[in-house]
Structure 1
Amino acid sequence: MKVIAEDLMSGERMIAATAFLTFVAKDRHKHPIEVPDVIPESEEERNLHESGPQRALMRKTRRAESKKLAAFLTTNAPWEPRSY
């Protein structure tokens, strides 16, 4: 998703926010189903499509790092000893 802001006085446009969303198509029994592949048409779409696997790898890496950090954190008060 791309959010574009526009200065109403000058007409200047800028990217205000971006996000990548994932949707899952489901059949009438609510089971995931395949959908036709995306066919990128513009240069922007081709670039986003081609860079998708790299973004997915980066998300997977960040998720793994977040899990490591969460495993390290405790709910102990600072004066309580940490149990390993």
Structure 2
Amino acid sequence: MINMTQHKINSGYNKFLNKLVLWSYFYKKVEVEREKGFSPIKNYERMVSFQETVQEMLPDMEKLDRSKIRSYYPLVDDVALIQYFKEIVGR
């Protein structure tokens, strides 16, 4: 059984991770659409929206001890995804 504080940390981190996964999905979708010659306006807007949210949440999330967090996404390498986000957005 986890305490309420840990539950809030888990929930906050998983909310962040959800936004990060959605950003990644839309980023890749926009890249594919551009390669095919399409103008991905709606998907680009969604990607930017998730990007802004993730950028806002990232500093607080990086301070957390991830060893104690229970992820809703056990198959997602959150550390690698965060690094990927930083590399792409840092361009």
Q: TM-score range by the shorter chain?
A: 0.3 to 0.5
**Larger strand proportion of the pair:** 1
Q: Which has the higher contact order (CA 8 A, sep 6+)?
A: 2
TM-score between the two structures when normalised by the length of structure 2: 0.31
Larger helix percent: 2
Structure with greater Cα Rg:
1
